[in-house]
Amino acid sequence: MKTIAITDFRKRASDFITEVEHGETLIVLRRGKPVAEIAPFSEKSQQQPSWKQSLVRFRISGRDLSSTILEERESVDENSY
């Protein structure tokens, strides 16, 4: 991994992109702080992020949770008087 200032990147962008093509990962700095990471392209990066992927859904027999909670609240209200 290589770090470079943003001004150097602007001046030699083509050279740096060639380095990335050969497997180098670049961290671009602005005022000494990282602002970008430039990495070689991979098919893996084109996959959906895990939070967007479909989840496995489970079916559980019985009543749904919201109905059970509402019934429990009603029974507590009736017994509190």
* Residue 32, domain member (yes or no): yes
Look at the chain and report how many structural domains it folds into: 1
Nearest to 21 by CA among 42, 43, 6: 42
- Provide the residue range defining the domain that includes 18: 1-42
* Residue 37, domain member (yes or no): yes
**% of the chain beyond a pLDDT of 70:** 89
pLDDT for res 60:
73
pLDDT > 60? residue 81: no
- Averaged confidence pLDDT in the chain: 86
Find out whether 19 and 26 touch, Cβ atoms under 8 Å.
Answer: yes
pTM of the model: 0.53
Average pLDDT over residues 9-26: 95
Which of the two residues, 63 and 17, has the higher pLDDT score? 17
- Cα 16 from chain centroid? 26
CATH of the domain at 14: 3.40.1620.10
Which of the two residues, 71 and 50, has the higher pLDDT score? 71
pLDDT for res 67:
87
